[in-house]
A and B are shown apart, each in its own frame.
Chain A
Amino acid sequence: MKLFGYKPPFTAWVGLAIIAIFIFVAIFADFIAPYGEAESVGQTWDDPSFANWLGTDNIGRDLLSRLIYGARMTIGVALVTTILSFFIGITTGFMAAVGGPVIDQILSRLVDVILSIPLLIFALIILSVFGSSITTLVLTLAILDSTRVFRLARAVATNLAVMEYVEAARLRGEGLWWIMRREILPNALPPMISEFGLRFCFNFLFVASLSFLGLGIQPPFADWGGMVRDNGKAISFGIPAPLWPAIAIATMTVGVNLVVDWILSINSRPSGASAEM
C-alpha cells in the first residue's frame, strides 16, 4: 500500500495506527469512557476488575476513564502548542532569512539568548510568575519552543533564498511576499514536516513532565503526566497505577517517532560505512 507516493515500512504503519487510535480516543472520549472524568467509583487503588479494567486511582476514580479523557487534554495541549510554535517560528524564521540583515541580527541574537537557558528552567521561571492556567502553559511553551522552529526555518529559508530560482524571481521584480509564499514556502515545507513530528513529541513529553511536577495541567482535568503524579506513591506498594498513563505517553511518542523515522529515511542516503570493501 502506498501513502503520498511512498511505501511505508511495517514500523511506519504501526506508528500511523497508534496515532490514529489515540486521536480517535481523544476526540470521542465522551462516548468511549465508561465513567465520567472526575467521577468517584470506588476506593483508593482498587485492583483491576470487570467494572474497572485498570482499577481505580488515588481517590477512587476509574483509571481507564481518566486515561481516555487524559488523551484529549495531553495530546490536545501538545498539538495546539506545536501548531502555534510552528506558526510563530516559521513566520519569524522566514522574516530573518529574507527580511535583511538588521531584522535577522535582532531575531537571531534574541533566540540565541533564549536558547542558552534550558527550556524547562525558563518555563519554570515564567510559570512561577504567571501561575499555571492552560492558556499560560500553551503560550509559554509555544513561544519558547518556537525558538527551535525559528532556527530551522531560518536555516532552510536561507538556503532556499540563495537558490537561483529565487534570484530569478527577484530579477523579475517580484515582491517579498510573493517570493516567500510561492518560491520559498512550498520548498521549505517537506523538511519541516518531520520536524513537526519531533517538536510535537518534545512538547508532548514536556507538558507531561510539567504536569508531573504539578506545574502543568491542573486538576480536575485528567492528563497523563498529572495522573502519574497522583498515583506515584502506589508504586511503593507494588501497584502499577502510575505506569498506565506513563505507558500511554510512551506509546504515543514511539508512534510519532516511528513515522518521523520513516519520513526522514525517505531522503537519506547510505553513507560510506556501508560501501563494498
Chain B
Amino acid sequence: MLKTIVIRVALGLLTLWAVSILIFGATEILPGDVASAVLGQGATPETLAVFRHELGLDRPSYVRYLEWFFNALHGDLGIAMTNKRVIVETIAPRLTNTLFLAGYAALIAVPTSVVLGIVAAINEGKFIDRFVNIISLMTISVPEFFIAYVLILYLAVQFEVFPSLSTVFPEMDFSEKIYTAALPAFTLTMLVMAHMLRMTRTSVLSIMSQPYIEMAFLKGLTRSQVIVRHALPNAAAPIISVIALNLAYLIVGVVVIEVVFVYPGIGQFMVDGVAKRDLPVVQACGLIFAGAFVGLNTVADVLAIMVNPRLRHPR
C-alpha cells in the first residue's frame, strides 16, 4: 500500500510540474509576443524593444521558464507588470483571506451535504429524496451571482442582517471576520452543497445495489445496521473523492463570489490581473489555484487508497 501511495504522490508532483509548463506555455502561444499585445498596434519598434528587454522577453523561452519555475519553487512569484510591486507581498494576505472564506464555507457545506446525501440515498424515491433532489437541481442550475444577489437583496438590503460588501481587514478580530464574510460563505456553501449532495447520493446508491447489501438484508439486519455496517464502509472511498472534487470546485467558485462581494481575496486579484493583462500576476495566481486543485485531488486519492480493504490487506 505504501508503494501505491508513494506512486500517487509522485504522480501528483509530476502533474504539478506539467501544469506549470502548461501555464507558462499558454502565455507563449500568442502570435507575436506579450509586449506587442500589451502595448498595442501603435507602439514603435524602439519602445517595443525596450519593453521586451525590461520583461526579459529577448531571452529564449525555456530560459525564462526555468527561471520562473525555480523562483516559484523558492516562493518568488515575480513582480507585477502594472504597479511593479512584488507579487508575493500582495498575494500573501489575500491568500489568507481566500483560505479563510473557503474553509468557512467548507466547514458548513461538507458535513451538511454528506449527511443529506446519505439520507436522500437511503430514502430513494421517497418524499425527502425527491425534495432534496429538486432543491439541489435548482441550486445547480442557477449561476453563482444569482444566489449572491438574492441573498444580498433579502439579508442585506431588506432585513440588514449582514453587510452586502464583505471587505475584511487584517485588523478585524475573528468574530468580526465571520460576520463580515457571512454572505459570501453562505453563497459558496449553497453552490458546492448541491453538487456534493447529489454526488454523495449517487455513490451511496451504487453501493446499495451491490449483492452484498441484498445479502445483509437477507441476514435479517435492520436497515440502519445494513447502512452503517455494510454500505458506509464501502461508500467511504467514493465519498472522499466527492468531497475533494467539490472542495476543488469551491476554490474556483471563490473567484466569482469574491468579485460580487468585493472580498479582498486572490480570486479578485486574479480577475483584476486578467482585465489589466498583467501576465506575471495571472501566472502566479493560476499556479496557486492549480496547485491547490492538484493537491486536493492527490490527498483524496491517497485517502481513497488508505480506506480500500483490497489495498490495505493484500493477498
Contact = CB atoms under 8 A, between A and B. Distances in A.
A271 B208 CA distance: 6
A277 B223 contact: yes
Contact of B30 (A129, A228, A273): A129
Range, interface on chain B: 35 or more
Interface in B198-248: 205-206, 208-210, 213-214, 217, 223, 248
Interface of B: 15, 18-19, 22-23, 26-27, 29-30, 34, 37, 121-125, 137-138, 140-146, 149-150, 152-153, 156-158, 164, 205-206, 208-210, 213-214, 217, 223, 248, 251-252, 255-256, 259-260, 270-271, 273-275, 277-279, 282-283, 285-286, 289-290, 293-294, 297
Contacts of B137: 254, 257-258, 261
A223 to B, nearest CB: 12
A235 B145 CA distance: 12
A267 B90 CA distance: 52
B121 A118 contact: no
A13 B94 CA distance: 47
A238 B158 contact: yes
A113 interface: yes
Nearest to A253: B141
Given A118-B293, A128-B273, A129-B30, 6 more contacts: A117-B289, A118-B251, A121-B290, A122-B286, A125-B283, A236-B156
Contacts of A274: 124-125
Interface in A214-271: 214-215, 225, 228, 232, 235-238, 240, 242-243, 246-247, 249-250, 253-254, 257-258, 261, 269-271
A243 B149 contact: yes
B182 to A, nearest CB: 17
10 contacts: A117-B22, A124-B270, A124-B286, A125-B282, A201-B141, A205-B143, A209-B256, A212-B256, A238-B158, A275-B217
Interface pairs A-B: 10 shortest CB-CB: A246-B146, A253-B141, A271-B209, A250-B142, A128-B274, A273-B124, A273-B208, A118-B252, A254-B141, A113-B18
Contacts, number: 175
A213 interface: yes
A246 B23 contact: no
B290 A228 contact: no
Contact of B252 (A120, A213, A249, A261): A120
B213 A209 contact: no
A272 B153 contact: no
B146 A243 contact: yes
Interface centre among A113, A225, A270 (most CB of B within 10 A): A113
A235 B256 contact: no
Contacts of B256: 209, 212-213
A39 interface: no
A265 to B, nearest CB: 11
A129 B29 CA distance: 9
Contacts of B217: 272, 275, 277
Given A113-B18, A235-B152, A257-B141, A129 B27 contact: yes
